[in-house]
Chain A
Amino acid sequence: MTDINKVQDEIIDEFEILGDDRESTIFYIMELGNQLGAFPEEEKTEDNIIKGCQSKVWLITTTEDDKVVFHADSNTDITKGLISLLIRVMSGRTPQEIINADLYFIEKIGMGGIIGSQRSNGLAAMIKQMKFYAIAYQSKMNAL
């Protein structure tokens, strides 16, 4: 089992404990959002905004030992919570791992039903952008 899937399974377990109670789930996601690491104010630029999100989401990357590290922020706490889940799964992986990632946890925890269709589109846009960054890093590494 890859690390990505291990983390996904952990998240699935955590959400199972929350059960069907929508209020507790939303409060939990917000709590995760509050714990998201600080994001540099100067990076909150138009260029770093992910298109297709209802809320504002900024996403940037750094690299550590050929691994892609994601940093993100949003103007809404629930979106920050969603970002924190994605970062937990995707950040600190090799570009190939990110490109290959099958993010089954989103469906397993019933995220679509929790956040609604508009936010689901936003979430899909975030994942797409993360994979784009990974592809870009990989091409850069291959070119070296």
Chain B
Amino acid sequence: MSLNIQDIRASFPILHQEVNGKPLVYLDNAATTQKPLSVIEALDYYYKTDNSNIHRGAHTLADRATRKYENTRELIQKFIGAKEVEEVIFTKGTTESINLVASSFGRKFVKKGDEVIISTLEHHSNIVPWQLLCEEVGAILKVIPINDKGEIIFEEFEKLLTSKTKLVSIVHVSNALGTINPVEEIIAKAHAVGAKVMLDGAQSSSHLTIDVQKLDCDFFAFSAHKIYGPTGLGVLYGKREVLESMPPYQGGGEMIKEVSFEKTTFNEIPFKFEAGTPNIGDVIAFEKALEFVNTVGKKQIVDHENELLAYATEKLSSIKGFIPYGTADNKVSVLSFLIQGMHPFDVGMMLDAGGIAVRTGHHCTQPLMNRFRIEGTVRASFSVYNTLEEVDRLYESVSKIAKLKNK
């Protein structure tokens, strides 16, 4: 069944505007997706009707808010295929989820001389927390190299794995290139040497069907705002036994069982990792984003995005001076490129002048850009509400821009 994209677009109010005198073409979805009206209205409704602090309130509003908040947790459990609802922890976003693991799991289980493995494809948020940890405890950070297509070199990964490897933290789908990593094989190999595996699912959560039990990952992190949900909200999934073995991340309310000045005992998971009043309104509104994805269908969304990517790749490849970055056999939704002789900032700004929103720069992956010996790229990234006509607009603008330096 093919999607009715115009119906879908109708539920995203932001798309219906002109930018610089042209109808907006929003192709910066890997940075953040737009929000359907149902999410916007749920946020509005919450503050107008249900706003109260959750979990301990002895009144009706608190009870309503708590039920809705916990309902979203259950939906997320189903969305990622977690075994138990307690394995779903709310955070500020993927970055905080990774920092939580680095700080809590890392400080307890990664010791001097141990090793942590990441890849060249990582976003800074899956590099810096591990650098900080390794520096603090005296562990070693190892990096899986990639080939020219932007795929990790699996044999090199196998060589890096040793009995000293405590954790492999790897991006599921590259934000800069769109490469899908062979995570099931990575997880199996890592487990064989007794290492745990964390997946950065910031991009994959919106472009792939996620089943953490099938993947068998120990941790999975993602952000709500990249799946049509609100900003400032993320999730950390962790296997129960791993989460229970970890010390708390931050101290405060909600995460305790009992507090005295002599000793504090901690709450059960997930609350042990959710200190302080959480982002209640956004969690409740996120339910509507998941509902949107479930209603449209993940497979239909992915099929449509793949069609857009294939069409865009084919069309733009015919432009003189077009240089693609990230040509992995297995990739999703991201078209990263440069125009011969032009700086990506200039290309981005000229596209913006034509009403087309893309991202330019290093995409928070400077080591990856260094690998390709470039400062950055222009990145067009697609979502369910984009159309083939919008790809045509991108093609026409890029053609015009490329001609300036590629006659």
Contact = CB atoms under 8 A, between A and B. Distances in A.
Nearest to B397: A23
A41 B66 CA distance: 64
Contacts of B343: 55, 75-77
A21 B20 CA distance: 8
Interface string B375-407: 100000000000000000000000000001000
A116 B348 CA distance: 12
Given A20-B21, A30-B404, A25 B345 contact: no
A22 B20 contact: yes
Contacts of A54: 345
B345 A30 contact: no
Interface in A51-89: 54-55, 75-79
Interface in B325-379: 342-343, 345-346, 349-350, 353-354, 375
A27 B350 CA distance: 7
A30 B21 contact: no
B356 to A, nearest CB: 11
Pick the 10 closest A-B CB pairs, nearest first: A22-B20, A76-B343, A22-B353, A26-B353, A23-B353, A76-B345, A77-B346, A78-B346, A76-B346, A26-B350
A23 B350 contact: yes
Nearest to B342: A77
Contacts of A115: 349
Interface of A: 20-23, 25-27, 30, 54-55, 75-79, 115-116
Interface residues of B, number: 12
Contact of B349 (A20, A21, A26, A75): A26
Provide the main secondary structure of the chain B interface: loop
Contact of A78 (B345, B354, B375): B345
A102 B195 CA distance: 64
A21 B21 contact: yes
B63 to A, nearest CB: 44
Contacts of A25: 353
Interface in B294-352: 342-343, 345-346, 349-350
Contacts of A75: 343, 375
Interface in B1-40: 20-21
B24 to A, nearest CB: 13
A19 B389 CA distance: 27
Nearest to A33: B346
A138 B68 CA distance: 68
Contacts of B349: 26, 78, 115-116
Nearest to A74: B343
Given A30-B346, A30-B404, A55-B345, 16 more contacts: A21-B21, A22-B20, A23-B350, A23-B353, A23-B354, A25-B353, A26-B353, A27-B350, A27-B404, A30-B350, A75-B343, A76-B343, A76-B345, A77-B342, A77-B343, A79-B345
